[in-house]
Chain A
Amino acid sequence: MEGRPLDDQALVERARTGDVNAYEALVQQYQQLAFRVAYQVTGDAADAEDAAQEAFVNAYYALGRFRPGAPFKPWLCRIVANEARNRRLSAHRRIALAERAHQAQASGEAAPSPEAAAEAGEFRAALLDTLARLREDDRLILSYRLFFDFSEADMAEALKVPKGTVKSRLSRALTRLRAALPADFQIASGGPVDG
């Protein structure tokens, strides 16, 4: 493994033959993404860690069924999301996620300056809160696209949906997010909601 690091495909190929070091390189590379995807589903750090760990182990044993040449990242994320669903939160824990998002927002970043910053902070807090209460599949597609910067092809693979439907699903998720925002935040730069 001299010189530049091996790409996903080469690492997957090695891992398929039982090379544990190659697989560990993949784990190192994707553990943050896996944990965050799991957290988007579970809203609980311990559950997310369990789900991500289980997903990596299960993915390793499923490598024999992995289609050579296919992208590893969305395939892994699909396994992660499934594992995370298996640990799905009870309703009150999902609310805990929203509360934690609130607290993190309140105690977190130093506000750059006056009212605009305060308003922006409030908007972010409202977004976080609303996201946490959103349907899980909506939250997941929004995260893949807007937080993790997945391509449409990767989203389709991760969500196991036809590529042609990704755009419309994303759009519907955005619409539902907007509708679920507090009324004050459903407008562009302040002012009442029209219609």
Chain B
Amino acid sequence: MAESQRLTEMELERALRELGPRYPYPPTPNLAVAVRRRIVARPVVPVRPFALWRGPARLALAAAVVLVLAGAAALINPTTRDAIAHFFHVPGVIVSRVSPLPSVSPVTPLNLGRRTTLAEAQSAVSFTIAVPATLGAPDAVYVATEVPGGEVALAYTPRLGFPLVKQTGLGVLITEFRGDLIPEFLTKEVGPSTTMEETSVNGDPGWWLAGEPHLVFVQVSGTDYQVQLRMAANTLIWAHAGVTYRIESGLSRADAFRVAAGLP
């Protein structure tokens, strides 16, 4: 022990700086997924010109916010959430009406899984992949095996009668997955300018979402499957025998149903 000297402020500072990188913090959890989920369930009221906040418009907006909050509470409460999923009858899909719809920046490329062949995709999923006769063989096939039961995406490039969809860069995108295994796989948030029609597809209950793009949130709870959030174009979605089918395109209702007729 050398000469006696009180530890100076500077020495103490230095000791603390050295301690910083060794501080025994627990590992940082990934907060982004949970935060995103909560925000999507309760979209922000965007910054608007002051005038909108006067008079009846303000009341209307306040009422809309209350509705959104009620919807968010429903999504967060597991019991109610099950009830919503059940109410909409399409396994693997939760659809809710929100106002206003949050905006997201475009995601490129679309995260559809691994590019593969139809035959290989078939061996990797637990259901029979259906290809619509009206469209024929897809231009590209993707498979996501992290999704329980597997998910297949059939991509068709734009062609005559199948216009380019800005949100996907494709003409038609068909996805198929075991909705019965992943009840919360897709969450769809539909804004005021999107039509939301409960319908029947080949005798099974489904949804036709059209007009302004809606927001789709894809996740597999409790896994490290990469969560996605993007805007989606016109979508026809239904389920048959545990498999959920989704057609996203720029097609009219009648044309989308024509494609669906070639699927189960």
Contacts and interface: CB of A to CB of B under 8 A. Distances in A.
Interface of A: 1, 14, 16-24, 27-28, 31-32, 34-36, 39, 45, 48-49, 52-53, 56-57, 60-61, 63-64, 100-101, 104-105, 108-109, 123-124, 127-128, 142, 146-148, 171, 174-175, 177-178, 181, 185-195
A175 B13 CA distance: 11
Contacts of B254: none
Interface stretch (B25-33, B121-129, B206-214, B218-226): B25-33
A100 B24 CA distance: 8
A104 B24 contact: yes
B20 interface: yes
B21 to A, nearest CB: 8
6 contacts: A20-B40, A27-B32, A60-B35, A123-B15, A187-B4, A191-B1
A143 to B, nearest CB: 8
Contacts of A1: 105
B100 A128 contact: no
A191 B2 contact: yes
B103 A19 contact: yes
Interface residues of B, number: 45
A186 to B, nearest CB: 6
A48 B28 CA distance: 10
A194 B35 CA distance: 53
Given A100-B24, A109-B22, A177-B12, A185 B31 contact: no
B161 interface: no
A12 to B, nearest CB: 11
A21 B7 contact: no
Given A20-B103, A147-B23, A181-B7, 6 more contacts: A31-B32, A34-B31, A57-B35, A57-B38, A189-B3, A191-B3
B38 to A, nearest CB: 5
B11 A188 contact: yes
Interface stretch (B41-49, B148-156, B162-170): B41-49
B2 A189 contact: yes
A101 B105 contact: no
Contact of B35 (A18, A53, A124, A186): A53
Contacts of B103: 17-20
B24 A128 contact: yes
A189 B5 CA distance: 7
Contacts of B159: none
A87 B1 CA distance: 44
